[in-house]
Structure 1
Amino acid sequence: MSTDYQTLIRHYEDCLARHGDTHRGVDWPNADDAAKRYRVMLDLIKPSHDGCTLLDFGCGASHLYQYMLDRSVTGIRYAGLDASPAFCELSRKKYPQNEYICLDVIEQPERLGKFDYVVMNGVFTEKRELSYEAMWEYFKRMLLVVFAKTRRGIAFNVMSKEVDWERDDLFHVPLTDLTHFLARELSRHYVVRHDYGLYEYTTYVYKESN
């Protein structure tokens, strides 16, 4: 597989350089919508799993962690991962108490340890200059690697096909394509959420049934 996906990393680093440590610095156009995504991502975690470990995959500037602090979310041991050295350095400076992993898991999957839960917020919403086919292959390969590293479940979002129009730079995934892949390659225990008012959907994939 080519390393064309690294254009995505460079895009987000460009956003950080232009907009700094803000929602636009991670290419979310609206702060309120970004907060809604953080809430939906955290809903992956079962209420009974107090003390669980959570990996914020593609953590960016750790805005999910700040969301947790602002809302006094407890019982979760947070760690962040990003393939961008710029974002890892920023997050470490902001929250030195957290574990941060600067890693391209496609290149070095063996370096990633196991976590109870993994959230991948915004990792797959944009494809930029990649073709749909190239992004789909990257998406599948990444999920196969990450799901093997989780004990309980993962969450990720992609753009919906149920929109008035599609942007060429975004990753709009047909639901049937997604569910066929999940059931055959990852798990039959999944939840698809299209209920939070954005032009995307979030999927939870669990190792075991509820």
Structure 2
Amino acid sequence: MSGQYQAIIRHYEDCLAQFGDSHRGVDWPNAADAAKRYRVMLDLIRPSTTEKTLLDLGCGASHLYAYMLDHDVEGLRYAGLDASSAFCALSRKKYPQNEYLCLDVLADPTRLREFDYVVMNGVFTEKREMSFSDMFDYLQRMLAVVFEKTRCGMAFNVMSKQVDWERDDLFHVSLDQLTDFIAKKLSRHYIVRNDYGLYEYTVYVYKEHNGWPTS
């Protein structure tokens, strides 16, 4: 499986080259659904009296940050991470005030430092030519690395199995299979969101039952 996920990165770079800085440039079919995903990702965050750090892993063109600005989201210090140098360059040009990490997390996990929250929107929704087994292995490896560097919680989305038909290039995951891995290897404190009208679901995984660390 080593390196196969690089094809997913190249696919998104092809989308950017074809469609530019838009929802289609990060391979979301329409802007309204993309905005809905940003809202659901941010619902991960628990109320707090202090500023928290947020890592947008797979940030693409920083459309989540644009959503935060448009909706006056406060109390979060945003940072972006992407394995694609093209997307990192675009995001840095748009928002030079933000921190951006151009990093393949699996290739160099030691460079990933801790954040209070991490969101991974669209990182696991497409498997392209990868087999289901290889993609699920990629997901498990990524989540294990990222959750270790997460102080409060993380969010990610995958395609649902409760659909009329499945696309071969998308990653449709059984809820039982996914939550079995989460509960056994990551945390028993998780929430599954399947209430926002798209053919996918989002999972929040927390370190503690109330979303806060013990120290």
TM-score bracket, shorter-length normalisation: over 0.9
1:125 and 2:125 aligned: yes
CA distance in 2, matches of 1:192, 1:203: 5
Give the TM-score taking structure 1 as reference length. Answer: 0.99
Q: Which amino acid aligns with 1:162?
A: Q
Amino acid at match of 2:17: A
Q: Does 1:21 align with 2:21?
A: yes
Aligned partner of 1:59 in structure 2 is 59
| Correspondence for 1:9 | 9
Please give the root-mean-square deviation of Cα atoms over the aligned residues, in Å. Answer: 0.7
Task: Give the aligned residue type for 2:22.
Answer: T
**1:86-165 equivalences in 2 (<5 Å):** 86-165=86-165
**Distance in 2 between the 1:3 and 1:189 partners?**
31
Q: How many residues were matched structurally?
A: 210
Structure 2: distance between partners of 1:202 and 1:71: 21
Distance, in Å, in 1 between the alignment partners of 2:9 and 2:204 is 24
Structure 2 CA distance, aligned partners of 1:24 and 1:47? 32
Deviations 1:54-100 (A, max 9, x none): 00000000000000000111110000000000000000000000000
- Distance in 2 (CA, whole Å) between partners of 1:202 and 1:145 is 19
The one-letter code matched in structure 1 to 2:86 is: A
Query: What is the percentage of aligned positions where both structures have the same residue?
Result: 75
TM-score, normalization: structure 2? 0.97
* Structure 1 residue ranges (4+ consecutive) displaced by more than 3 angstroms after TM superposition: none
1:47 shift after superposition: 1.5
Q: How does 1:65-76 map to 2 (within 5 A)?
A: 65-76=65-76
Superposed displacement of residue 164, structure 1: 0.4
- Mark the CA change 1:184 to 1:49 in structure 2 (over 3 Å): closer, same or farther: farther
Tell me how far apart the structure 2 counterparts of residues 127 and 47 of structure 1 sit (CA, whole Å): 34
Q: CA deviation at 1:2?
A: 1.3
Cα-to-partner distance string for 1:93-147 (whole Å, 9 max, x where unaligned): 0000000000001000000110000000000000000000000000000000000
Bigger drift between 105-114 and 40-49 goes to 40-49
Q: SS at 1:203's partner residue?
A: strand
Distance of 1:49 and 1:166 partners within structure 2: 43
SS at match of 1:56: strand
Q: Secondary structure at the match of 1:172?
A: coil
Q: Which runs of 5+ in 2 are unaligned?
A: 211-215
Q: Alpha-carbon deviation of 1:49?
A: 5.4
